[in-house]
A and B are shown apart, each in its own frame.
Chain A
Amino acid sequence: MQALQHKQAPARVTLATEGLTRRFGALTAVDALTLSVEAGEVFGLLGPNGAGKSTVIKMLTTLLPPTAGRAHVAGFDIVRQAAEVRRVIGYVPQLLSADGTLTGYENLLVFARLYELPRHERDQRIHEALAFMNLADVADHLVNTYSGGMIRRLEIAQATLHQPQVLFLDEPTVGLDPLAREVVWDHLELLRAEMGTTIFLTTHYMDEAERLCTRVAIMHLGKVAAIGTPNDLKASLGGGEVTLDDVFVHYAGDTLESGGSYRETARTRRTVRRLG
């Protein structure tokens, strides 16, 4: 047993994919993706619309079965042990996922029950989570009276109530104003510092990746075009006055105009409108 544990040290890989692939008909949305994320990392998947980022998240959160390849999250296979995976992850979808017709408290209550929080801890954990996200004052207001930033914070609270090992966020700050984005980023950093949660997010905002991520992978037509720390990637372009934007354009530039489907665009805009 000791020998086994010795073999696994030092890096604790919390999430890994091997040749993960998803096809929709003739389209290969994710093409043999292989990457690994260590415990406590904030890993960012970057890419233009249509690069396959959301499809990766949907596979890792067990919403979409892969066409080929495999992946593990917290030691569990995403296909064969989907039920176990769901216990140890939290998920904040790209779209607006808090229910506007319920109060903030009720939005958390239902997930507290679904994640099997013990009855005697439920109320306390919900109120702690609301306080942590600065939502204690509006706990009993209907969510459709919240601002976009408040809704996002509530959604993160929903997804972390059960202290997941890995938190997945799909475009966490799309449609938020600059101030609201700052607040969401602060809370994510705090979450990672206090709970040690591994964070896996997608974004197409370079400032977001630079601010939050320990490592990023730039996706291009379903494949990883580049991977590394933000600084490493900048250095790979020869250093100097290089920004992450330059890196992004360098690796994914030729798809900037063609990316994204009508449906995806419509959804993003709708979300932006509702959040704004």
Chain B
Amino acid sequence: MKLQERGARFGGLASPAPSRRAGPLTGLVLFVAKTLAIADMEVRKLRHDPTELLTRSVQPALWLLIFGEIFTHIRAIPTGSMPYLDYMAPGILAQSVLFIAIFSGIAIIWERDLGIVHKFLASPTPRTALVLGKALAAGVRGLSQAIIVYLLAWVLGVHLNWNPLALVGVVGFVLLGAACFSTFSLIIACLVKTRERFMGIGQILTMPLFFASNAIYPIAIMPAWLQAIALVNPLTYEVDGLRALMLGSGLSLSVLALDFVVLLVATTVLIYIGGWLYPRVAV
């Protein structure tokens, strides 16, 4: 029987079955293929039950309609010549992406309790591919929020920039931001390991991430200590990039590149940490 003959011997004498990995390129292709397999699986779950995406659209609608309308009229926040609703719309998109991503890690705890994680970890899948695949899927969820925010903003008369290149840029920033915050969420889930603790910590983190950023007011009006926090908050760079691309006013490529690089570096580091922590979930 062929199956049994193949490398079925014990000890140092046996020559192991030849590895199918021929070189770094094949390795990279496999890595990408497996990342996409994980992302595809998560997207299929969303297709089977898209309720979450719809209920998630309520929050940005409330922010834009109530908070946005009121603060536009009282002109409490100095946004120069820009209408406050315009200023706020990209911030609300970033907020939606943050909120949908920051609790996504709880799925890991759920899957750990069910035993699903164990089976994936026992398969020949790089740990970083598991993490990146889930991050990509979070990006897809983020894109659904982008469509909703764009619709709302358009209805409310926000002056949107419809330049196709800028739209591609928005897609890129949404994917990257969702990947960044969902991986952060996954890391927390790997560390705390129970749903109760995770929900508590998620709540604690969400508010500072949101309010210590430029999402709904400029950094300039903050006290110095809060400005310092805002400058190391990835959400600030997400908002900055989205604001430049969505509104198209004062678009500076060098600032945009900085936003992108900061998010990319943060996400890459987080994915490596996530890939390192992920196997511990199964223990």
Partner of B4, one of A40, A81, A102: A40
* Complex CA distance for A154 and B76, rounded to whole angstroms: 60
* Complex CA distance for A36 and B11, rounded to whole angstroms: 12
Residue numbers in B under 8 Å from A94 (CB-CB): 115
- Whether A63 lies near B125 (C-beta < 8 A) is no
Partner of B1, one of A14, A72, A196: A196
Q: Number of contacting residues on B, CB 8 A? A: 43
A130 within 8 A of B: no
Q: Number of contacting residues on A, CB 8 A? A: 58
Q: Mark B249-283, 1 if CB is under 8 A from A, else 0.
A: 00000000000000000000000000000010011
Candidate in A7, A58, A94, A114 with the most chain B CB atoms within 10 angstroms:
A114
Residues of chain A touching chain B, judged by Cβ–Cβ distance below 8 Å, are 4, 7-8, 12-14, 16, 36, 39-40, 58, 61-64, 72, 74-76, 81, 83-84, 86-89, 91-99, 101-103, 106, 109-111, 113-116, 142, 155, 158-159, 163, 165, 168, 195-197, 267, 270
Q: A94-B115, A110-B38 are in contact. Are A196 and B123 (CB under 8 A)?
A: no
Residue of A nearest to B14 (CB): A75
- Whether A93 lies near B120 (C-beta < 8 A) is no
B19 within 8 A of A: yes
- Whether A39 lies near B8 (C-beta < 8 A) is yes
Partner of B45, one of A72, A99, A116, A196: A99
Candidate in A8, A61, A63, A195 with the most chain B CB atoms within 10 angstroms:
A63
B195 within 8 A of A: no
Residue numbers in A under 8 Å from B116 (CB-CB): 97-99
- Whether A95 lies near B114 (C-beta < 8 A) is yes
- Whether B16 lies near A116 (C-beta < 8 A) is no
Query: Among B29-37, B65-73, B166-174, which stretch is in contact with chain A?
Result: B29-37
Least distance between B3 CB and chain A CB atoms (Å): 5
* Complex CA distance for A4 and B15, rounded to whole angstroms: 11
- Whether B48 lies near A115 (C-beta < 8 A) is no
Residue numbers in B under 8 Å from A58 (CB-CB): 118, 282-283
Q: Mark B1-27, 1 if CB is under 8 A from A, else 0.
A: 101101111110111110110000000
Residue of B nearest to A166 (CB): B8
Partner of B115, one of A12, A62, A86, A96: A96
- Whether B30 lies near A116 (C-beta < 8 A) is yes
Least distance between A57 CB and chain B CB atoms (Å): 10
